[in-house]
Amino acid sequence: MRKINMNDLNQWITEQKPKAEQQIVRNRNSAKIIRTRQRDKEEEVILDKLCMEKWKRAEQEGKIKYLSKRKWFYDFD
């Protein structure tokens, strides 16, 4: 079995990372996957409730700042 130093491994990973990212981007399918199946009513209700709870939690945590009646700022993590 071949032994390798952790520093050498980290250096090799750092050197190879740009090449790997280029290959991922190049091979990625550029067409966006379109949802063809409609959501059923129960799923819509559940997703709506989850979104409203997430919004209320963000308001309580101070992540949402109301700038005016129609404008607001949402501070994403």
Range of the domain at 58: 41-77
Alpha helices in 1-77 (DSSP H): 6-27, 41-60
Q: What CA–CA distance (Å, rounded) separates 12 from 18?
A: 11
Residue 60 lies in a domain: yes
Query: Is the per-residue pLDDT at 4 higher than 90?
Result: no
Q: List pLDDT tens digits, range 12-34.
A: 999 999 998 888 888 877 677 77
Q: Is residue 58 domain-resident?
A: yes
* pLDDT tens digits, one per residue of 53-74: 999 999 999 999 999 989 989 8
Token readout for 64 is: 């949402």
The DSSP output letter for 2 is -
Average pLDDT in the 33-57 region? 91
Q: Structure pTM?
A: 0.49
On whether residue 76 sits in a domain, the answer given is yes
In a domain, 77, yes or no: yes
Q: Is residue 30 part of a domain?
A: no
> Does 33 reside within a domain?
no
**40 by DSSP, 3-state: which?**
coil
pLDDT band per the 50, 70, 90 thresholds, residue 77: low
In a domain, 55, yes or no: yes
